[in-house]
Amino acid sequence: MDLRPLGIHPDSSVVVLTGAGISAESGIATFRDSGGLWEQHDVSQVATPEGFAANPDLVWRFYSQRRLQARSVEPNAGHFAVAALERFLGERGRFTLVTQNVDGLHQRAGSRRILPVHGSLFRTRCADIECGKGLGSWEDESLHVDGAPRCPECGGLLRPDIVWFGEYLDPAVESAAREAIADCDLFLAVGTSGAVWPVAGYVDIALARGARTVLVNLEAPANVSRFSEVHLGKSAELLPLLLPGT
């Protein structure tokens, strides 16, 4: 495969946006997969506030299964290429990784400047809004298969720190993502469907800035027309060829 690197310099300002596609190459099933683990349950049962209220034990069994799956796979060359780019830019450059993925594979690959806009599979918080504001969220790799855990402060239900369908993104995280994109020279989207809002519209912020917009995806996403440069194929194969530091 003959690809020219993207020509990123140490003083460049880069935002990388990643979606489910990069983790699918490590073996993480997504709810869009016909044979994925989401097919066992209706999305409304396991990934909405209403589903959690109706059956929190089912939701926690489901997310415990997702935690097990995420721990059973390894980051791929695409994850490592993104981490290498962050190291290449170092203190001289500006780098932000905005990810829709909750599986922790970017962190395990060595990425540090991460904005997880959809939350984290391995964090837990109180379901009570008022209590949760005080406690925040915390790291949690436990498998809650015997029932939903209870909050140590108020005794109410705990929930995965995930942005479910019908919920808004964390305002602070989304604001930081938009700010980084509005100040970047290069916006690189990897493994995204281009159909999940508001993240699908982030490319328009980069375009308004006059940034270079590059897409690496297995197939053309819904917003492919918003990118000036498109590379179709596996991110684990393409990213090491396109990015410096690998």
Q: Among 100, 131, 162, give the residue marking a domain's end.
A: 162
Residue 143 sits in the same domain as residue 42: yes
Q: What one-letter code names the amino acid at 129?
A: I
SS3 115: strand
Confidence at residue 41, expressed as pLDDT on a 0 to 100 scale:
74
Residue 33 sits in the same domain as residue 19: no
Which residue range is the domain that position 41 belongs to?
29-72+120-162
For residue 70, which phi and psi values (nearest 5 degrees)?
A: -65, -35
Residue 83 sits in the same domain as residue 180: yes
Residue 220 sits in the same domain as residue 192: yes
79 is catalytic: no
Mean pLDDT of the chain: 92
* Residue of 134 and 11 predicted with greater confidence: 11
Confidence at residue 38, expressed as pLDDT on a 0 to 100 scale:
53
Neighbouring-strand partners of residue 18: 99, 190
Residue 125 sits in the same domain as residue 113: no
| Catalytic residue from among 79, 118, 144, 231 | 118
Alpha-helical runs (H) found in the chain:
20-24, 43-46, 49-54, 56-72, 77-89, 105-109, 129-135, 171-181, 202-209, 235-242
Residue 239 sits in the same domain as residue 183: yes
Cα separations (Å) of 184 from 167, 180, 181? 28, 6, 5
Residue 40 has pLDDT above 70, yes or no: no
CA nearest to 195, candidates 47, 31, 40, 26: 31
Cβ proximity of 89 and 14 under 8 Å? yes
Residue 18 has pLDDT above 80, yes or no: yes
pTM score over 0.85: yes
Cβ proximity of 244 and 8 under 8 Å? yes
Residue 34 has pLDDT above 50, yes or no: no
**What is the spatial distance between Cα 81 and Cα 229, in angstroms, rounded to a whole number?**
19
As a whole number, mean pLDDT of residues 129-135 equals 83
**What is the spatial distance between Cα 148 and Cα 21, in angstroms, rounded to a whole number?**
30
As a whole number, mean pLDDT of residues 155-160 equals 96
* Residue of 118 and 44 predicted with greater confidence: 118
Residue 237 sits in the same domain as residue 155: no
